[in-house]
Amino acid sequence: MKIQSVDCQDLDRALSLEWLETNGRGGFASGTVSGANTRRYHALLLVARNPLDERFVLVNHFDEWLDIDGRSIPLSTNLYPGTVHPAGYAFCTVFQSRPWPTWTFEYDSIVLQREILCVSGRDLVIVRWKLMSKDIPSATMRVRPMLSGRNYHRTHLENESLSPDAVIKEGHVTWQPYPEVPAVRALHPGTYKHAPNWYRNVQLPVEYRRGFESQEDWWSPGEIRFEIESGGEQTLALTSESVEISDRTDIIKLEEGRRASLEQKAPTSDFLAKALWLATDAYLSERDGGQTILAGYPWFSDWGRDICISLPGLCFVTGRHDRAWHIIDFLCRHLSNGLVPNCLSALPQDSAYNSIDASLWLIHAIERYLVYSHDETRVRDIAWPAIQSILAAYREGTRHNIHMDRDGLIAGGSPHVQLTWMNAKVGDWGVTPRQGKAVEIQALWLRALEVGERLAQQFGDPDYAVRCRRERALALRSFRTKFWNEEGDYLYDVIEGPQGVDASIRPNQLYALSLCVDALPDDQAKRMLMVVKRHLLTPVGLRTVSPTDRRYRPRYEGGVSERDSAYHQGTVWPYLLGAFVTAWLNVFGKNPTTQIEARTFLDGLEMHMREACMGQVSEIFDGDAPHAPRGCPAQAWSVAEPLRVLIEDLDIPCPSLDSR
């Protein structure tokens, strides 16, 4: 993604555009194209400790100046009350996000590039400056790091407990503002002058709009100076690692090669497919010596539901089969009473098992893994017993009153626990109470029993296959009888709950058609899809409730309670495009005509990937046009599901990515 000076030098526009670099260990660097931090999560060095469960902002920012011929040219930008200083954005002429964030600054005949990259598998960030101009005197770079050393969910204020000391050695300097957070080492090519100072009242306008603390104080320990020759380059590395850092140029070349390999194997015939393919790399992460998927940046960790829904798009269609297996194996080994942990933790006892659908999504993911990988041995030995334990728990009953009812359908929930993906709460108020029998849970149950029957036959257990087939036949009859709303031509969202029948027009019903080809008669399926399209489809995803509903909230904005009350009451979710496109082709047939039509449903995402977090897809959007992006600016399933349907359903050519 590339933008020119008209956007780079428009402060409001440049503040709205974000970039993201990730390290595959839960750490990341992020910021805005303007250079100013607008979120508490924006940072240069943000690392995870006790993988993914604790994250710390160690280095927030650099103040940078290029001194040449008696002139001092600012490259950085900061927001303070009533003023912007420095204002380096005014000299930025080009920004591009690939292969990593790169800015080009121009001042008269002076041209300088700045690059920022995270190194995969390392808590290591490298900043590189290139003096592109020829035949001019060498220049001096002055860099002032801004530190905090705080939990990434908080802000930092000036205090007396911060340690102002530094360990200064040739070529590197170490700071550790607080003993409970990792020390920071800066490896530089020049000299360091220790001159501690506080930079107060840095403004974070995005946090202000979200109703959070919106200003903080940064501690700057000193200044690093180094020379850049005309046509030359210099690098500075930031790390929390204690190991020795090898040649930084070699590290950059290795990282560049890794990213080039990823890009070479991406689809080339479709811009959106290629962009989504490249975006997938951000969400794959280590956990406890294994692998996981991060739900979104900047504030989400790994969630069982999000992992299982994202696996096909992030790993199966991209050929990362071995990595996918390690994730599946991890989830299978962490089942408790048939439930996948929804919120994972380093300590199993701290994981939250409050999801009715995550375990059923895992069954779906396992079957898709087998289709893509043909890895029958590992599925039979490890995943198949896990599937049987899940099915047994749902049949017999497990936590949160989750159980198979006499009609063969799955019921569950209690007044105080939100178990489905529509789980927003404001205090004790569940915004979308879905206790009872939710429509997508029945679709997932029908799918799980279908998988159970198929695998039982494959692994030589015909009696179990017969049981699953009979249970599915009962559930299917009950589903068709109880969920169809003849008056409205769509499926009820929830039945037999405390509120009776919930006739809200919601996107959850799509899973009946995307996961099960026989859930409804053809005529009903077509009528239902047209209702969903008319009420819920937007250029960037599907609304969570119809605009005709009295509870509809057109915009996701305001403080925490205001946003939570809109989260599933009209807010648009792009990941639902996956279910919609698959359902559309299942119902209307997969042929060139319907595929061309279905591809248009994804067109709005192409433009979106040039806004918000460039090269990524946001978590949510406003329900009303112009559908402003909201929530996390980079979300795993928002990338995964559109990519899945592009490759699986729309047949975009896609070479297999080597397993890593």
Per-residue model confidence as pLDDT tens digits over 193-220: 999 999 999 999 999 999 999 999 999 9
Residues 6 or more apart in contact with residue 482 via CB below 8 angstroms: 407, 409, 437, 492, 495, 496
Neighbouring residues of 386: CB distance < 8 A, sequence distance ≥ 6 = 332, 335, 362, 366
Q: Does the pLDDT of residue 68 top 80, yes or no?
A: yes
Confidence of residue 161 (pLDDT cuts 50, 70, 90): very high
Say if residue 369's pLDDT is above 80. yes
φ/ψ (deg, to 5) at 453 = -65, -45
CA distance 332 to 354: 16
For the stretch 417-420, contacts whose Cβ atoms lie closer than 8 Å and that sit 24 or more positions apart, written own/partner, are 417/354, 418/354, 419/354, 419/355, 419/356, 419/357, 420/355, 420/356, 420/357, 420/508
Q: Which two tokens stand for residue 519?
A: 């859930």
Residues 560-582 have pLDDT tens digits of 999 999 999 999 999 999 999 99
pLDDT surpasses 70 at 400: yes
- Token pair in block for residue 342: 């929804």
Q: pLDDT at residue 659 above 50?
A: no
Average pLDDT of the segment spanning 9-22: 98
Supply the DSSP string of 24-86, one letter for each residue. Answer: SSS-EEEEETTS---STT-EEEEEEETTTTEEEEEEEEEEEEEEETTEEEE--EEEETTEEEE
Q: Is the pLDDT of residue 349 over 70?
A: no
* Confidence band, pLDDT 50/70/90 cuts, at residue 52: confident
Average pLDDT over residues 348-362: 88
Decide if pLDDT at 134 tops 90: no
Q: According to CATH, where is 2.70.98 located in the chain? A: 2-259
Mean pLDDT of the chain: 95
Q: Please, where in the chain does CATH 1.50.10.10 lie?
A: 265-648
Q: Residue 348: pLDDT band by 50, 70, 90 thresholds?
A: low
Residue 383 DSSP label: I
- Please give the average per-residue pLDDT across 603-618, as a whole number: 96
Q: What is the CA radius of gyration of the chain?
A: 26
Share of the chain above pLDDT 90, in %: 90
For range 619-634, the mean pLDDT: 98
Backbone φ and ψ of 443, nearest 5°:
-65, -45
Instruction: Give the pLDDT of residue 396.
Output: 97
pLDDT given for residue 657 in this prediction = 42
Tokens of residue 345, six digits: 């933790």
Q: Is the pLDDT of residue 660 over 70?
A: no
* Domain over 2-259 is classified CATH 2.40.230: no
Which distant-in-sequence residues (6+ apart) come within 8 Å of 447 by Cβ?
360, 363, 364, 515, 516
Contact between 192 and 224 under an 8 Å Cβ cutoff? The reply is yes
Band of pLDDT at residue 344, cut at 50, 70 and 90: confident
Return the beta strands (E) in 215-346 as ranges.
Answer: 215-228, 233-239, 284-287, 290-293, 296-297
Verify cis geometry, omega within 30 degrees of 0, for the bond prior to 267.
Answer: no
pLDDT band at 183 (very low <50, low <70, confident <90, very high): very high
Domain 265-648: which CATH number of 1.10.760.10, 2.60.40.420, 3.40.50.10090, 1.50.10.10: 1.50.10.10
Q: What is the mean pLDDT of residues 626-641?
A: 98
| pLDDT, mean of residues 453-465 | 98
pLDDT at residue 656 greater than cutoff 80 = no
- Give residue 290's pLDDT: 87
> Would you say residue 393 has pLDDT above 90?
yes
- Residue 658: predicted pLDDT: 39
Residue 239: per-residue pLDDT:
97
Which pLDDT belongs to residue 346? 61
Whether pLDDT at 83 is above 60: yes
List pLDDT tens digits, range 464-499: 999 999 999 999 999 999 999 999 999 999 999 998
Residue-level pLDDT at 327: 97
Coil, helix or strand for 543? strand
CA distance 472 to 479: 10
pLDDT in tens, 315-337: 999 999 999 999 999 999 999 99
